[in-house]
Chain A
């Protein structure tokens, strides 16, 4: 059953349309990967899912009402000058409308549990300014999960990570998705990192979103049409790879 449906949605800022006629459906428990070049409107689409950008036209429908959502922003959005420990950030997220009283002494079991799941318990007393890029991204993921969301939206979480850290982080997302059955919407500009993870893909190109089940979208014909260049999709050792060129044996992109 669809959790989220977009029907003929135009998105943008002011009078400027960034994405036109978006049609998209996400099922409960899906792993949706959204891909597109910089400036293509990926973040705008994500913000519309989070209620931060309103549609200019069309309808965004959440089945059963808007669910609890967790948001992992791009790391650059977080200001490290804040004198905040990792534990403080997570506790504050849980008790954001309560008084000062539990700000310092009271331990929250949810926080400990999520720090163990994301493997950041050793960072609990570190301040944000002392974290590496990968550590910060894990902390932001923990912050998104600590409220036990039905949907987690991640906006280019691996954009500033090296290959190893990026792979480790994406594996963590996979594990969290499998364990908690949370619906995951992950934005990236790196299609190959998604092809073996996402159930559904949305590819944004020239202001339009092409979306569907991963196996439907990931065909040589589709990708060549969307990217307007010859691309070949192959299965190698059980993993899907994308190759440049229309015929066999050319350069690999994945």
Chain B
């Protein structure tokens, strides 16, 4: 029988695992915060489409390196494609006579399909592509860690500063615009924040856990309820815990890291729904 690793062994190897845990925790924090807007704006598909676009960007960068002998950084590929898709979301869907949801669906399907197709042409990097799509990477490069830490910190400061405007413009864009709020600027900041963070985190952690961090902690926090500031903070904390604890769980139970982080994030939703079911007034009690 194979013995499972212990927490002591994890602690002993902390120098090895510190960076990926830190990266996942930081990404989980900011994606958890941003996820509240994504869920409340009913744009869960955004996270899925953007993470697929990031994966496509990385796949394209590898393809360019191998077949076109061009030295394109995978992070640059991810960021470029993510920004391109983010810009697509900023179009006014009414002008195009289609719903925003349809644009998201198109971006998701096209990016996902293309990533798989291009991945098929670069079998030399199949493992790398797999880690990007499903988050099987165990280690994080120092460059990726610093990128995540710096970006997450800057975005968190920016979003704390614009919380009221962002909430009002997300809640009722027309009324917010009438009041003089720069809706397009706030929308652009939100979409580019999601795009940038997803792109950078997808390269380091994988598309699946990044999508999970962007949706599941917010769902759990909203299910418990309470006031908006409480929901934002709770969601950020649950995102952070999903990243960190997910890694520990993966180590302890020898699971793929991305899957483990996703499972932890999903558990928060299950627990929150259970709490909501057992204590219906929990939202009124929390965050007063």
Q: Which of A's residues lie within 8 Å of B, judged by CB? A: 13-14, 47, 50-52, 69-71, 73, 77-79, 81-85, 88-89, 92-93, 95-100, 103-104, 127, 143-144, 147, 153
Q: Is the CB of B228 within 8 A of A83?
A: yes
Query: Which residue in A77, A81, A99, A143 is a CB contact (below 8 Å) of B40?
Result: A81
Q: Is the CB of B179 within 8 A of A93?
A: yes
**Nearest CB of B to A216, in Å:** 30
Q: Is the CB of B222 within 8 A of A83?
A: yes
Q: Is the CB of B172 within 8 A of A52?
A: no
**Bound state CA distance, A51 and B184, in angstroms?**
14
**Nearest CB of B to A73, in Å:** 6
Q: Is the CB of B178 within 8 A of A50?
A: yes
Q: Is the CB of A95 within 8 A of B164?
A: yes
How many of chain B's residues have a CB under 8 angstroms from any CB in A?
A: 30
Q: Which of B's residues lie within 8 Å of A, judged by CB? A: 40, 42, 94-95, 160-165, 167-168, 171-172, 174-179, 181, 222, 225-229, 231, 283-284
Q: Is the CB of A79 within 8 A of B231?
A: no
Q: Which residues of A contact B95 (CB under 8 A)?
A: 13-14
Chain A CB within 10 A, most for which of B95, B163, B283: B163
Q: Is the CB of B164 within 8 A of A98?
A: yes
Query: Which residue in B94, B165, B177, B179 is a CB contact (below 8 Å) of A13?
Result: B94
Q: Which residues of B contact A51 (CB under 8 A)?
A: 177-178
Query: Given the interface contacts A13-B94, A50-B174, A147-B179, does A83 sit within 8 Å of B164 by beta carbon?
Result: no
Query: Given the interface contacts A71-B178, A81-B40, does A100 sit within 8 Å of B229 by beta carbon?
Result: yes
Name which residue of chain A comes closest to B41, CB basis. A79
Inter-chain pairs besides A82-B40, A83-B227, A104-B229, 7 sampled, C-beta below 8 Å: A50-B177, A77-B174, A79-B40, A79-B171, A96-B181, A97-B165, A127-B283
Name which residue of chain B comes closest to A47, CB basis. B174
**Bound state CA distance, A103 and B178, in angstroms?**
21
Q: Is the CB of B226 within 8 A of A83?
A: yes
**Nearest CB of A to B41, in Å:** 9
Q: Which residues of A contact B165 (CB under 8 A)?
A: 96-97
Q: Is the CB of A82 within 8 A of B171?
A: yes
List 30 A-B residue pairs with CB atoms under 8 Å apart, sorted by A's residue number. A13-B95, A14-B95, A47-B174, A50-B178, A52-B174, A52-B178, A70-B178, A71-B175, A73-B175, A79-B42, A83-B222, A84-B227, A85-B227, A88-B228, A92-B164, A92-B168, A96-B164, A96-B165, A96-B168, A97-B164, A97-B181, A99-B163, A99-B164, A100-B229, A103-B163, A103-B164, A104-B227, A127-B284, A147-B179, A153-B178
